[in-house]
Amino acid sequence: MNELELKYGCNPNQKPSKIFMKNGGNLPITVLNGKPGYINFLDAFNSWQLVKELKEATGLVSAASFKHVSPAGAAVATELSDTLKKIYFVDDLQLSPLASAYAKARGADRMSSYGDWAALSDICDLETAKLLQREVSDGVIAPGYTDEALAILKTKKKGSYNIVQIDLDYVPEEIEHKDVFGITFEQGRNNLKIDEEFLMQNIITENKNLTEEAKRDLLIALITLKYTQSNSVCYAKEGQAIGVGAGQQSRIHCTRLAGNKADIWYLRQHPKVMALDFVDNIRRPDRDNTIDVYISDDYEDVLAEGVWQQFFKTKPEPLTREEKKEWLKTQSGVSLGSDAFFPFGDNIERAKKSGVEFIAQPGGSIRDDNVIDTCNKYNMTMCFTGIRLFHH
């Protein structure tokens, strides 16, 4: 099959719509269930490239959670702490390496991952299918599915869940084309290989120490950025992206947006958040939304409105601004990647507030000296990659 007709394009009024191979060859995918749409396939193909490259770079099973052609989260398989299992709401599940990777990719920013497209670097197993089954998700792409996993996923969304299998050996053509306003653009594929050597060639700060964990996390950040709508910045820690700032016009806004998400990820581990006593049978999205409100500065106003009884068995004690500030001061060991150079040191100042110690960015600003000096002030390690990672 070299083409697949779709219901419509980005919006219902955009018809006709299809995906096809210009060279007349067969599509490298098989739809095993459901009817994926135009945006679904954009998410599927971008997310698949991300997890495939992430596994190649780290040697670890990988997963991603995509929304609107940018990753909400991406991760490699590592052992989850009891704390992370609890805040990702998987402490009741048996987790394979692949399930652990998806739990991390999905759990880093649960608000953004609601209704996501999942990508798996390896054959979907039973444990990962059970995790996907209970989350609000539009579809999944993987190189294969066990019989047990496929049977479970086919029951999701009343049998309409989108399940796509990708040919692991598919290699796209070197030249890409894209039509905009009736005009065709052409460019070479971004085949840049991101690996440890990419990080080690130009460490320009006084502190030149890159731990093994930092190398892994910087690779995750940079490969995530390669498939994130630009401008973009990514914070990573413990084998996963913990904050992605995508599609901003200003570099500092990317850094703030991603940093705020990284802060929320860490605040969810605060003892007060961990101790929240929810009512029985609360819906998973309602619980996620409530946690987000509880962490926000607006929560005391919500409490005053007397709606807490809808979500909690007992009225929670607010998490004060001072408590949040003190808790965030304990965050450390965070890695940060940027898809283009930092023009000013203010980005580093903001990154410091979220515990960043390791940075990878292209370099090349006329104010590189200011950025380097700011890193040196905080004893950070920063490498210049020399390569921009814009994605549009």
- Active-site positions read 67-68, 231, 392
Largest CA distance in the chain: 63
Alpha helices (H) along 169-247: 196-200, 212-226
In angstroms, the Cα distances linking 31 to 35, 63, 161 are 8, 19, 11
Paired with 64 in beta bridges are: 74, 119
Amino acid at 342: F
User: What end-to-end distance do the CA atoms of the chain give, in Å?
Assistant: 28
Paired with 124 in beta bridges are: 145
Cβ-based neighbour number of residue 337 at 10 Å:
31
Token pair 């054959």 is at which residue?
Answer: 123
Contact criterion met (CB below 8 Å) for 212 and 219: no
Contact criterion met (CB below 8 Å) for 119 and 141: yes
Compute the distance between CA of residue 268 and CA of residue 86 in angstroms, rounded to an integer: 10
Contact criterion met (CB below 8 Å) for 119 and 224: no
Pairing of strands 381-384, 356-361: parallel
Residues 6 or more apart whose Cβ sits within 8 Å of residue 183? none
Contact criterion met (CB below 8 Å) for 119 and 132: no
Contact criterion met (CB below 8 Å) for 391 and 228: yes
